[in-house]
Amino acid sequence: MRSTLPYKQQVVLAGALALVAVCLSAVLAHAEPEKKTDQKTPPKKLTGAELYAINCARCHPERYATEFTAAQWKTIMLHMRVRANLPAAQAKEILKYLQEDSGN
């Protein structure tokens, strides 16, 4: 297929396209990589007191840690962990919180 443009115009057009390609590659090479906006920060580790307030106090009136001994709190947590479907790590944090101030 024969071009309808004169030779001079073809050379100028080819040069212009080459210049655009070089400029575009330079811009892309110096562009910052895309930052992912869907990156989530790791969840804050909740304290035993916070977990107690979230999980226990929503169904029960607030109980003071001194109302039961450390052994009684352990028994209560074994039972309530199953009933409330608490993950083991959260149950341990709540138990630790309650036993620290328990009425030994």
Q: What is the pLDDT of residues 58-74, one digit of tens each?
A: 888 888 889 999 999 99
Residue 102: what are its φ and ψ, rounded to 5°?
-70, 160
Q: Please check whether residue 76 is in contact with residue 68, taking contact to mean a CB–CB distance below 8 angstroms.
A: yes
3-state secondary structure of 104: coil
Domain locations in the chain?
A: 48-100
CA–CA distance, 53 with 103 (Å, rounded to integer):
19
Residue 57 has pLDDT above 80, yes or no: yes
DSSP string over 53-76? IIIITTTS----GGGS-HHHHHHH
pLDDT of residue 96: 94
Which whole-number Å values give the CA distances from 89 to 8, 47, 55, 101, 102, in the listed order? 77, 11, 13, 19, 20
**What pTM did the predictor assign?**
0.58
